[in-house]
């Protein structure tokens, strides 16, 4: 719930905490097949500073990645990531008078990493992986296995993958954790079309179950029907007509089935010493979200030691079926009848003695039918209809034969499209990157 939305995935999918095992599985077609035949000892370090406008969320990330050839047919890879998170994020409820939206302050640290070994045997490469991620209120342990099989004189590679994660979700103030599980299955093809062109296509099927709700997100629960009177702090009922109060946590389904299709092409333009990476990602899930993401990256070699890589990414998604700004009911009494006195005092609900007394004295009491509440609801803007734009530039400068300096900047813009959700809740951000690549 606290990692910022990365623009390369639907906002609804990131859910603030991307799992390293899933990242490795989804990226295996983009990274692993191209490196498999040319394994070398190398390491990379990155520092990234993600800053949302108006001093909202800030995330400072240090990450290290390495690849080391243990044997002619065995290569080890691993990564370690440390995130320092701070700032405020919208809860999903309306703000108090004078405030744009209700928010919760966040300050936490995340440590995560994965370790894998690629074992080559004939035309197959088997890669088991284990990953772990931990915050003060979230723990994730994942395992995955991918199998790459070469055909057609190594010009065609079939990749199969499976991943499993067991997560534990909590929040500040809780002394317990709730279970969340994920399965992901991947099948893909890498095809070399000619010495300058490689295409990739893969399908991912994922199933999650357990506690899929964000414990930091809430929603306004209220009724605007008489005889509900002014807010009374001494009133112990759940009824609340104040429009500036988030008084219930969101409720999401306890399962989710997603299908993701990815297609990409990399082509070298030798006359200009540059290459184009273009890809498209389609997402669908049974929460009702359909998303499309397109990304274009140009890699231009200049002189001998400089490579510039401008990037543009566009993402658009529909809203979840259960996304709404408020619930016009009361979840404690939804679908039942309640009784109020003429002074708006709460007498009781069906089954209570006070309600029976009210039925017997209709002249001094009023009976109200409380509307049914939906089974699921969330006011989390990440589940709304929205679009994002990301554009930026990365520069790789060769400082030495085996060492390169990487500098990058990206601008991230998010915009709501439903005409109901306040634009203030959608973040815009600057993302700065500096790093080193080394071979040894």
Q: DSSP letters of 300-343?
A: EEETTTEEEEEEEEEEEEPPPTTB-SEESS-TTTTTSEEEEETT
**Rounded average pLDDT over 150-160:** 95
Q: Does the structure show a pLDDT above 90 at 38?
A: no
State the SS3 of 198-263.
Answer: EEEEEEEEEEEEECCCCCCCEEEECCCCCCCCCCCCCCCCCCCCCCCCCCEECECCCEEEEEEEEE
Three-state secondary structure call for residue 356: helix
Higher-pLDDT residue of 255 and 88 is 255
**Residue 359 DSSP symbol:** H
pLDDT band at 342 (very low <50, low <70, confident <90, very high): confident
Q: Reduced to 3 states, what is the DSSP secondary structure of residue 3? A: coil
Q: What is the mean pLDDT of residues 12-36?
A: 42
Stronger pLDDT, 416 or 33, i.e. the higher one: 416
Please return the burial class of 40, using the count of CB atoms within 10 Å of its CB with bins 0-12, 13-18 and 19+: exposed
Residue 119 pLDDT > 80 = yes
Backbone φ/ψ region at 108: left (φ over 0), alpha (ψ -120 to 50), beta: beta
Confidence label for 15 from pLDDT (cuts 50, 70 and 90): very low
**Residue 183: pLDDT over 50:** yes
324 pLDDT above the threshold of 70? yes
The beta strand positions in 352-402, using DSSP E, are 365-369, 386-400
pLDDT for residue 11: 45
Q: Is the pLDDT confidence value at 355 over 50?
A: yes
pLDDT at 420 over 80: yes
Query: What pLDDT is recorded for position 152?
Result: 93
Q: Are 413 and 431 in contact (CB under 8 A)?
A: no
Q: Output the pLDDT for position 95.
A: 67
Give the span between the Cα atoms of 335 and 80, in whole angstroms.
51
The residue among 351 and 181 whose pLDDT is bigger is: 181
The mean per-residue pLDDT over the stretch 264-275 comes to: 96
H helices of 16-137, in order, are: 20-36
Mean pLDDT of the chain: 86
d(CA 132, CA 79): 11
- Which of 54-58, 67-71, 256-260, 321-325 has the largest mean confidence? 256-260
Residue 39 confidence (pLDDT): 60
Higher-pLDDT residue of 230, 434: 434
Integer Cα distance of 296 and 217 in angstroms = 34
CB 434 within 8 A of CB 397: no
> Could you give all domains of the chain from N- to C-terminal order, each with its CATH number?
11-335+370-439 (2.40.160.40)
pLDDT of residue 404: 96
269, two tokens? 């333009």
pLDDT at 338: 85
Q: Identify the burial level of 387 via C-beta atoms within 10 angstroms of its C-beta, where 0-12 means exposed, 13-18 middle and 19 or more buried.
A: middle
The C-alpha torsion from 138 through 139 and 143 to 148, rounded to 10°, is 40
Q: How far apart are the first and last CA of the chain?
A: 38
Across 21-35, 93-107, 160-174, 219-233, which has the greatest mean pLDDT?
160-174
326 or 231: whose pLDDT is higher? 326
User: In the predicted model, is pLDDT for residue 19 greater than 50?
Assistant: no
Q: Residue 189 above 90 pLDDT? A: yes
pLDDT, position 246:
47
Judge contact between 430 and 392, C-beta under 8 A: no
């Amino acid at each position: 719930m606290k990692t910022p939305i990365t623009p390369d995935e639907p906002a609804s999918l990131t859910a603030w905490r991307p799992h390293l095992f899933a990242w490795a599985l989804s990226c295996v077609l983009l990274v692993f097949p191209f490196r498999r035949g040319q394994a070398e000892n190398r390491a990379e370090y990155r520092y990234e500073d993600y800053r949302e406008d108006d001093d909202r969320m800030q995330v400072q990330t240090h990450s290290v990645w390495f690849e080391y050839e243990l044997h002619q047919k065995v290569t080890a890879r691993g990564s370690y990531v440390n995130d320092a998170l701070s700032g405020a994020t919208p809860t999903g409820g309306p703000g108090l008078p004078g405030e744009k939206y209700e928010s919760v302050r966040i300050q936490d640290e995340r440590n995560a990493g994965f370790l894998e070994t690629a074992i080559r045997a004939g035309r197959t490469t088997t890669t088991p992986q284990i990953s772990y991620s931990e915050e003060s209120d979230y723990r994730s342990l994942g395992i995955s296995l991918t199998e790459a099989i070469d055909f057609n004189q190594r010009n065609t590679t079939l990749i199969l993958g499976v991943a499993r994660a067991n997560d534990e979700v909590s929040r500040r103030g809780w002394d317990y954790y709730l279970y969340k599980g994920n399965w992901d299955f991947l099948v893909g093809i890498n095809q070399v079309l000619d010495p300058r062109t490689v295409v990739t296509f893969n399908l991912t099927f994922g199933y999650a179950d357990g506690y899929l709700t964000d414990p930091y997100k809430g929603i306004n629960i209220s009724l605007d029907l008489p005889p509900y009177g002014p807010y009374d702090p001494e009133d112990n009922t759940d009824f609340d007509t104040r429009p500036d109060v988030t008084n219930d946590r969101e409720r999401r389904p306890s399962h989710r089935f997603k299908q993701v299709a990815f297609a990409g092409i990399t082509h070298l333009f030798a006359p200009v010493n540059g290459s184009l990476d273009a890809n498209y990602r389609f997402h669908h899930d049974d929460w009702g979200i359909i998303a499309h993401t397109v990304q274009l990256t140009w890699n231009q070699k200049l002189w001998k030691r400089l490579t510039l890589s401008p990037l543009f990414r566009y993402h658009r998604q529909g809203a979840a079926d259960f996304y709404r700004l408020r619930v016009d009911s009361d979840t404690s009494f939804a679908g039942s009848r309640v009784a109020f006195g003429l002074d708006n005092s709460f007498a009781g609900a069906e089954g209570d003695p006070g309600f029976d007394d009210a039925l017997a004295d209709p002249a001094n009491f009023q009976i109200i039918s409380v509307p049914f509440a939906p089974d699921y609801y969330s006011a989390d803007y990440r589940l709304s209809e929205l679009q994002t734009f990301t554009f930026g530039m990365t520069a790789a400068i060769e400082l030495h034969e085996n060492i390169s300096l990487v500098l990058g900047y990206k601008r991230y813009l998010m915009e709501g499209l439903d005409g109901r959700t306040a634009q203030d809740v959608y973040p815009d951000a600057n993302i700065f990157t500096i790093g080193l690549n080394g071979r040894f």
